[in-house]
Amino acid sequence: MTTTTATANTTARAATASLGQIARRAGNVVAQSALLAGVWFVADQLARAAHLPVPGGVVGLVLLLALLFCGGVTPRWVKAGADWLLSDMLLFFIPAAVAAVQYGGLFRADGWRLALVVVAGTLMVMVAVAFAVEQAARLERRLALRRVRRERHLAHA
């Protein structure tokens, strides 16, 4: 009888712990998504006030990148929110798909031009992302090498 009671208590504690973990994870996602939205909002207002020729989202991306590199924001502060936003990104393209269905005549008349723009734009984005990732990886390797050299120098001193 005591074994059954102990097993039930252990199961109840595990269920409570997992609910706590789920609530904590959900809270992190909400807080981190709000932080990312806040960065975007500030950057959008800045871009509008300064009459910049680039959208606020681009300014926000540069601002977030600067905050990540200078240490103002650590990656773990935004990872869960960014992962959630990226996993649900397809939902943001639904209005574009509805518009494509609604303007079928436009696609029949100028479809090849639109397709060319979409393909060229996609390729440009892919090249830009590949370049940015390569540069970030190089910077990360340099910083890691510098850190290792500094640790070795301190160990020999």
Would you put residue 71 in left (φ > 0), alpha (ψ -120 to 50) or beta? left
State the pTM of this model: 0.49
Identify which of 128, 109, 132, 131 has the alpha carbon closest to the alpha carbon of residue 120.
128
pLDDT of residue 112: 84
Q: What pLDDT score was predicted for residue 49?
A: 93
Three-state DSSP class for residue 53: coil
Largest Cα–Cα distance of the chain, in whole Å? 78
Report the pLDDT value the prediction gives residue 139, as an integer from 0 to 100: 94
pLDDT of amino acid 106 = 77
From 100, 79, 90, select the one nearest 35 (Cα to Cα): 79
List per-block mean pLDDT (blocks of 10 residues) for the chain, which spans 157 residues.
55 63 85 86 90 86 87 83 80 69 78 86 92 93 93 84
Asked if residues 63 and 43 have their Cβ atoms less than 8 Å apart, the reply is yes
